[in-house]
Structure 1
């Protein structure tokens, strides 16, 4: 993975991405989901990390829109984790532990139970997703 990634939408996103890289956790930036738009980071097929700075997420309308997006992603079998600036910058060991645990349990991948439930197939970078 390249360290320079022009797709990041914020410094907070870049910081989280570099920390994931240091942990050896493969991820993608700015992944498009139909009906949702782009999300900040995706680990595997299912873990969605949204990095919320006050600048873009503090109004009532932005708060409501974030929850609408989260609901759609959850309905589609994704595990959405919203992180604040303080969590990324000052509570990273806690976040690291959580992400390592989820990856160790293979929660970042589709499993047979997800296929049986008829959830969406793994995502791609394509903007043509429904």
Structure 2
């Protein structure tokens, strides 16, 4: 169901606040944790890219400049050994291409966001997220 489908199905049933929440939805987002991180970063003024391409192929969850952010669930990224290995290989290749990755868990985004945000802000404040090659 698209966001517009949802709006149509709920026509007359949602208030202005709910409509504003729907405005924050991104159809490219693949998880609630990813969405929460994106919305929180956007509220702090960061330009967040959803599903940016990784240098080694595939996509990352989010990016701020060169900084890649992965919002990992235990089920998909830890309990699946093939995915676990693939994640680390992508991180290594991305780092070598100048795209460092910060991996976030559900607990980090939900319960320890203040600490996570401080680390992201420090990285960005030190201008390490900018591409020095003119891109």
- Common fold by TM > 0.5: yes
User: Does structure 2 retain, via aligned residues, the 8 Å contact 1:20–1:27?
Assistant: yes
Greater relative contact order (Cα 8 A, min sep 6): structure 1 or 2? 1
- Aligned pairs, number: 112
Task: Please state if 1:66 is matched with 2:67.
Answer: no
Q: Deviations over 1:5-48 (max 9, x none)?
A: 1110011111111111111111100012353201100101x100
Task: Please state if 1:49 is matched with 2:69.
Answer: yes
Q: Please, what TM-score do these two structures have when normalized by structure 1?
A: 0.80
Alignment partner of 1:35 out of 41, 44, 56: 56
Task: Please state if 1:23 is matched with 2:52.
Answer: no
Q: Deviations over 1:62-87 (max 9, x none)?
A: 11010010011011011110010100
The CA distance in 2 between the partners of 1:91 and 1:22, in whole Å, is 17
Task: Please state if 1:90 is matched with 2:98.
Answer: no
Considering fraction of residues, name the structure with more helix: 2
Considering fraction of residues, name the structure with more strand: 1
The CA distance in 1 between the partners of 2:57 and 2:33, in whole Å, is 21
- What secondary structure is seen at the aligned counterpart in 1 of 2:60? strand
The CA distance in 2 between the partners of 1:80 and 1:12, in whole Å, is 16
Instruction: Give 1 or 2 for the bigger CA radius of gyration.
Output: 2
The CA distance in 2 between the partners of 1:42 and 1:61, in whole Å, is 24
Gaps of 5+ in 1: 116-120, 123-130
- What secondary structure is seen at the aligned counterpart in 2 of 1:65? helix
The CA distance in 1 between the partners of 2:109 and 2:51, in whole Å, is 18
Moved over 2 A (4+): 33-36
The CA distance in 1 between the partners of 2:107 and 2:57, in whole Å, is 25
Q: Please, what TM-score do these two structures have when normalized by structure 2?
A: 0.77
The CA distance in 2 between the partners of 1:99 and 1:109, in whole Å, is 13
